[in-house]
Amino acid sequence: MPIPFSSSVKNTPNIREKDDSSFGEKKASRFTFYDGPPFATGLPHYGHLLTSTIKDIIPRYWSMKGYHTGHVRARCGPENGHRKVQCRVPVHRDDVFGRVEAHDRAAGRWVNFDDNGNDYESMDLGFMESCWWVFKQLFDKGHVYRAYQIMPYSTALGTPLSHMESKQNEKMTHDPAVLVSFPVLLMSGGSGGVEGTTNDDEDEDEEKPSLVVCTTTPWTLHSNLLITVHPDLEYLEILDEKTGRRYIMLESGLSMLYKDPKKARYSTLRTIPGKSMVGWKYKPLFNYFSDTFPDFFREDYDAAVAAGFITPSRLPPCPVDEAGRFTSEVPDYAGQHVKAADKTILKDLRSTGRLLVESQVGHVDKFCWRSDTQLIRRAVTSWFIRVTDSIPEMLKNLEEQTNWVPNRYWGTPIPVWVSDDFFDCWFESGSMPYASIHYPFEKNSEQFHNGLFPADFIAEGLDQTRGWFYTLTVLGKKLFGTSPFKNVIVNGLVFAEDGKKMYKSLKNYPDSNMVLDRYGSDALRLYLINSPVVRAEPMWFRGSGSLLYRKTTGQAFVAQTSSLEGGNKAENVMDRWILADCQSLLRFIEEEMRGYRLYTVVPRLLQNIDNLTNWYIRFNRKRLKGVAGPGLDDTTAALNTLLQVLFTLVRALAPFTPFLTEHIYQLLRPQLGSAVITTAGGLSPPDARSVIQLGRAARERRHSSSGGSNLSLKAPLMSLAVIADSQLLADIDSSLTLKAYIGEGLNVRNVILAAADGDDEERFNIVLEARVLDWPSLGRKLKKDVQMVRKALPTLGQAKLRGYQRTKTMVVDGITLGESELTLVRVIGKGKGKEQEAHDAEWEPAFADDMVVLLDFAPHPELVQEGMLRELVSLFQRLRKKAGLAPTDEVRVRQRVVSDPDGIGLGKLVAARQDLFVAALRGNVEEARDEEGGEIVLEEEQLVENAVVMLQLCEALKETHQTSASQL
């Protein structure tokens, strides 16, 4: 179950800033990474926390490697100075950064907000001066031009947005969807006029063909006197038989004009090539403007420029002010917001007879990501950076100089807007490598080029590939001909649990402070870093996903050690394996972190923790407690190994889970001596683990098939047979300790090793079968002959199959087959093998590609008795835990049989097997007698088989404690 995050861990100071040598020697090299502004208003959501975590892990790692990490971070950078409206909102600086620093600390981010020269504020004069320098450099090189462009426009903020900004808040909305008609007045620029007159008499309009236009923005119709057609498409002229009117439109538009075009009463008069319609004249809907053209849609605007209608001396009118209201140029609607005026405009059009269809359409449109208001398109005059001609070199720079993890993405050219001497935030953000240090005005060129530029690392969300990444890249290329960053991690977007974007205003995600308080930042950090979002894929945040479960951290073992010194060479096979596993982990981390592949590191770290807890500690518990038998030296070696492994894992995990690792480090610190254990060559027990895992699979399958009525999963068994190749068996057989681990792990008395050759496999009734890898492919190759193979395979003898095993080729009914067609598998043969008959075994098999494991489930009375005694040991251990006893607490362990209806004689069995209890419980199990002294700590009745037993834990007598201590 989830637990509140331990206050002792949560309140542990952040990882020591002075200890920067955990992974390597101190180096003189600088590691520089760029960062944007902190969140200035409200609380961050998990997208912010994700990028903060990534930006914390990477510098922590390189700092621990001995590098001097230079963190260039905005205090009040592009986000706070994003719009001129927001710049006028008073925000108390200390409040903002006090809140940001507190949250960063709670989330485990290592950031120093003191004024140390590594931060910057975009409102500083020096920052602004550098931005102007950047602009002048571009201007002097001819990379800046001024032009009209149709841009996404926020009427709430009174400013255009860049194209990438407009894509940051796309959502469903409903708008009018109307068809309007424009009567044609003249075809082909005066030749081939329409039949009838060309005057403006409304009655005669009905006799002329009309162009049919669809729009979802009726407010743009006032200034429309230009219609664009595609030169390569053909348009239909139809006669509507119901009204007698003629319409010109695309065939695809018929479904909009008529609800059911198949049933509609119309006839097609002719087809008209789009290119032949150029130069036609038509009657506008409104008479506010003459001899002009639209200025609200990019396609129309570009067509008008290409046709020569728009020139530097002949710019389009725009009857809409900065707030999105109609100007006095449209007197009937002056002062109305364009979106609000749609209803009035449609009402006025109904009486003209030119509003053919009126409906609503639901579609995805762009909204201002700041004000959450629908954007319009508007022609604005702007300063632009010329980018197109630089794209090939930019691509080359990024290909050769930058490591993108995991992907590369491209954006579209962005403008630099001029507004009250305030450049757009994206230009500022792209200028931060220079403006943050007031380059080039501080005589810092050498420092800039020898450590501060280009950055070693940056990280942001996928949405910034069209924002900050892009502007950094453009300016880096334009100014210095290089990519401005060497490594970049692009994370995916974090959505709310319902799949929608996270909005502070909607509160559609759990409060991050609540999650941090309840589960701790380490759990949240691992949850985020180990999710698909680090591979640039989307993630749906679920508050329940970051639960922290109670697991042992080795603290109980740490408490028993005391400045362990000794053995420089690991002899025990499991000690050697876990130490080698740690060294392999460090090499893996080194390689993956150099590649900035965080998404591969965490799974490997968790795998090593599993190796430690579920394999090493579990199978060496007796050695660690000093009750295994080999003696004090072996216990010291095991504890030294555990200490070194814990210390290694703590350092490896420190960049990812700073609080928990610092807490464990403080527990380990008093025990850290000078002992360093080395591995003595390379036996590692993955083979033994494979045996144990296969054996567990066989146990579980046997237990499930019997409905749980057979032997329990922990019941001792007589024997285990391992059939594998000779090299694998030699590895296992070379160490008595390894065989003992296998026997203990599967609770079997005897481990039998048998070679995977004809004799041993026959002895255990293991036979080979040939199977076709891909029947469809073989069928295409052999045609009808494939049926000969299908019939022959089940009849093949073992001698022929073993020949194939050696030569990898075989002839079946005249057809030669090889490794690309056949594979061999091992199965249990029919009947019983010699080994099974000799020992009356009941084998349960489990198969792997290179190994077969057989567990003997035949019942044996002595094993049943041993199982009961082991169950009793387990019950006593649970009772100790229930009593809150530490492993070092001495108590007397007593039992009394309350009832024994089956006469199993549990008391006599306990007395006869005291060796088992001494090894497991560090003392004998006494028979409880009423006259004996000692205060009872805890007692309870338990059922063992059908016998009811009273279990007691009693205070240890003084002499008993002394004897026990001397024995240890």
| pLDDT tens-digit map of 163-176 | 777 887 888 999 99
Please, are residues 148 and 377 in contact by the beta-carbon 8 Å criterion? no
Tokens, residue 235:
């348009």
CA 474 – CA 414 distance, rounded (Å): 10
Where would I find the H helices in 656-769? Answer: 658-668, 686-705, 726-733, 736-746, 758-763
pLDDT at residue 201 greater than cutoff 80: no
Please, are residues 872 and 952 in contact by the beta-carbon 8 Å criterion? no
- 704: helix, strand or coil: helix
Higher per-residue confidence, 775 vs 500: 775
Contacts of 339 (CB under 8 A, 6+ apart): 219, 324, 374, 376
CA 772 – CA 763 distance, rounded (Å): 27
CA 235 to centroid of chain Cα atoms: 50
- Among 308-317, 526-535, 598-607, where is mean pLDDT lowest? 308-317
Q: Binning pLDDT at 50, 70 and 90, where does residue 112 land?
A: low
The predicted pLDDT at position 760 comes to 77
Burial of 920 (0-12, 13-18, 19+ CB in 10 A): buried
Q: Binning pLDDT at 50, 70 and 90, where does residue 245 land?
A: very high
The predicted pLDDT at position 420 comes to 56
The predicted pLDDT at position 327 comes to 92
pLDDT at residue 967 greater than cutoff 50: no
The predicted pLDDT at position 241 comes to 92
- Among 364-368, 771-775, 887-891, where is mean pLDDT lowest? 887-891
Average pLDDT, the chain: 77
Q: Binning pLDDT at 50, 70 and 90, where does residue 499 land?
A: confident
Where would I find the H helices in 307-421? Answer: 342-350, 391-401
| pLDDT tens-digit map of 397-440 | 777 788 877 764 443 333 343 335 755 667 888 888 888 888 89
Question: Quick one: the chain helix, strand, coil %, rounded to 5?
Answer: 40, 20, 35
Q: Binning pLDDT at 50, 70 and 90, where does residue 100 land?
A: low
The predicted pLDDT at position 55 comes to 87
Q: Which of 83-87, 95-99, 753-757, 831-835: highest mean pLDDT?
A: 753-757
- 583: helix, strand or coil: helix
**Mean pLDDT across the stretch 444-463?**
83
Stated as kind and residue range, the H or E segment containing 717 is: strand 717-724
pLDDT at residue 14 greater than cutoff 90: no
The predicted pLDDT at position 615 comes to 85
**Mean pLDDT across the stretch 51-62?**
87
The predicted pLDDT at position 181 comes to 94
Please, are residues 32 and 512 in contact by the beta-carbon 8 Å criterion? no
Where would I find the H helices in 512-572? Answer: 512-519, 521-529, 555-558
The predicted pLDDT at position 677 comes to 53
CA 826 – CA 850 distance, rounded (Å): 9
Higher per-residue confidence, 383 vs 642: 642
- Among 150-154, 155-159, 441-445, where is mean pLDDT lowest? 441-445
The predicted pLDDT at position 958 comes to 63
In Å, what is the CA distance from 5 to each residue of 115, 550, 845? 33, 10, 44
Q: Binning pLDDT at 50, 70 and 90, where does residue 964 land?
A: very low
Contacts of 657 (CB under 8 A, 6+ apart): 108, 522, 525, 526
- 508: helix, strand or coil: coil
- 469: helix, strand or coil: helix
- 778: helix, strand or coil: helix
Plot region of 578 (φ>0 → left; ψ -120 to 50 → alpha; else → beta): alpha
Q: Among candidates 757, 744, 497, 775, which has minimal Cα distance to 620?
A: 744
| pLDDT tens-digit map of 758-805 | 677 778 888 888 888 889 998 889 888 889 989 988 888 888 888 888
| pLDDT tens-digit map of 836-851 | 767 777 888 888 877 8
Q: What is the largest CA-CA distance in the chain?
A: 128
Task: Give me the amino acid identity at 166.
Answer: S
Task: Give me the amino acid identity at 62.
Answer: W
Percent of the chain with pLDDT over 90: 13
pLDDT at residue 829 greater than cutoff 70: yes
The predicted pLDDT at position 636 comes to 84
Q: Which of 60-69, 94-103, 228-237: highest mean pLDDT?
A: 228-237
| pLDDT tens-digit map of 557-577 | 444 444 445 445 667 778 888
Q: Among candidates 426, 367, 370, which has minimal Cα distance to 89?
A: 370
Contacts 24+ apart (CB under 8 A), 298-302: 298/149, 298/150, 298/377, 299/228, 300/226, 300/228, 301/148, 301/149, 301/150, 301/379
Please, are residues 330 and 284 in contact by the beta-carbon 8 Å criterion? no
Prediction pTM value: 0.65
Q: Binning pLDDT at 50, 70 and 90, where does residue 103 land?
A: low
| pLDDT tens-digit map of 251-291 | 999 999 998 888 899 999 999 999 999 888 889 898 887 54
The predicted pLDDT at position 149 comes to 76
CA 511 – CA 504 distance, rounded (Å): 10
Task: Give me the amino acid identity at 87.
Answer: C
pLDDT at residue 300 greater than cutoff 70: no
